[in-house]
Amino acid sequence: MSQARTATAVLPAQGRPLVSASVEAVSIPRTIWLSVAGMTLTLVGGTWDFAWHMSIGRDSMWVPPHILVQVSAVLVGIACVYAILTTTFSGASAARDTSLKILGLHGPAGAFIALWGSVAMFASEPFDNWWHNAFGLDVKMFTPPHSLLFLGSFAVKAGVLAWMARMMNQSRDALRGRLTWLFLYVGALGLTQLSNAIIGPTRVQNMHTAACYLAVALFIPLILVAVRWGTTHKWGCTITAAIYTALGLGAEWLLPLFPAQPKLGPVYHDVTHLIPIRFPLLIIVPALIADLLLQKLERRPSWFKAICTGPAFLLTFLAVQWPFANFLMSPASRNWVFGTAYFAYSDPAGVLYDPYKFQIAEKTLGAFLFTMAIAFVVSIVTTRLGLGWGTWMRRVLR
């Protein structure tokens, strides 16, 4: 799958272990490229599916975005199976010696994780179809089949990150540099998935609630810090957040170019094109602060880094997103750039609620402050978990 050359030792990057190996890859394997292509199709299919549900409705199991997500799962599965089988039947080799053995099969640990994720993704579609046939159509995000798809998709990303981290730990600078950028891209795909998972509490109407910032603290620092710490790139958080922002803007600006009409009722809005999800969260600003702090605190204990970085990330996000939410509520944002004039066909805006009025989740100032305090504590914990995940990826060799 890739060229190889003999080497007695691999010199580590800063923070990476010294690895002895007899075979070192000098180009990114096609299995990795195939996996990344599959994850990219997952992003496209998932984003398209969001827009399809908001613009057309779930009219069939075999709608194009559903098919695309299934194709993406198949591509990742093929890449993982190929990597596992070639390692298993390669005989005595350095690749097999540094692989994980499960049920008599040898392969990268990340390939086994990603393979499970691809199987879960593939199984979620017939499960979802059965669920709709049994319980009717729904608009809930986390039904059991949707949760299975979410977990499978995230497992694919975590597995491929571990797979690439293993290669980075066994590679010299040239290949490690190329893998680093691919690593950050996959991290951005994971960040996009997690930001979509909390789309409910982080809608613009909820951006003046403590629940919004608690949701961000639960998910966002985990993936950002893990990717940054795992790759050792000093601007890893910022680059990952920048790619996430670019992907989000691309979806918001391109989707409305495609015509669409509702096929299910009730129809509250005359939709004529695909409806995008939303303008991306301003994660890039706190990501920059996180990078600066992690550089400053490089040699400090992990919990100290988490105590400093997590709350700083959340406080910075609060400082930029709160006033930006005011702008998003204003008429100045109701255009193709910021997209606050888009509504799903089934969204009863103007009927059950005012779409340009902030919702109140915490009834009192005390409740708001208490929830925010929980959010800051959670940000410390998730940052520490991200550091632990990143440290493991720095050391993974199988």
pLDDT tens for each residue of 70-118: 999 999 999 999 999 998 887 766 677 777 888 888 889 999 999 999 9
Distance CA 205, CA 218 (A): 19
String of b and e for 81-118 (b: at least 16 CB within 10 Å)? bbbbebbeeeeeebbbebbbeeeebbbbbbbbbbbbbb
The residues, ordered by sequence, that sit 6+ positions from 335 with a Cβ below 8 Å of its Cβ are 341
Distance CA 221, CA 215 (A): 11
Q: State which residues of the chain have pLDDT below 50.
A: 1-23
Q: Is the preceding peptide bond at 12 cis, omega within 30 degrees of 0?
A: no
pLDDT at residue 368 in the model = 95
pTM: predicted TM-score of the whole model, two decimal places: 0.89
Residue indicated by tokens 């910021």: 338
Q: What residue type is assigned to position 53 of the chain?
A: H
Tokens, residue 41 = 């199709």
Q: Where are the beta strands (DSSP E) in the chain?
A: 4-5, 24-25, 100-102, 105-107
For the chain, which residues make up each domain, given as ranges?
Answer: 25-171, 201-270+278-398
Distance CA 312, CA 315 (A): 5
Residues in the chain: 398
Tokens, residue 212 = 């919004």
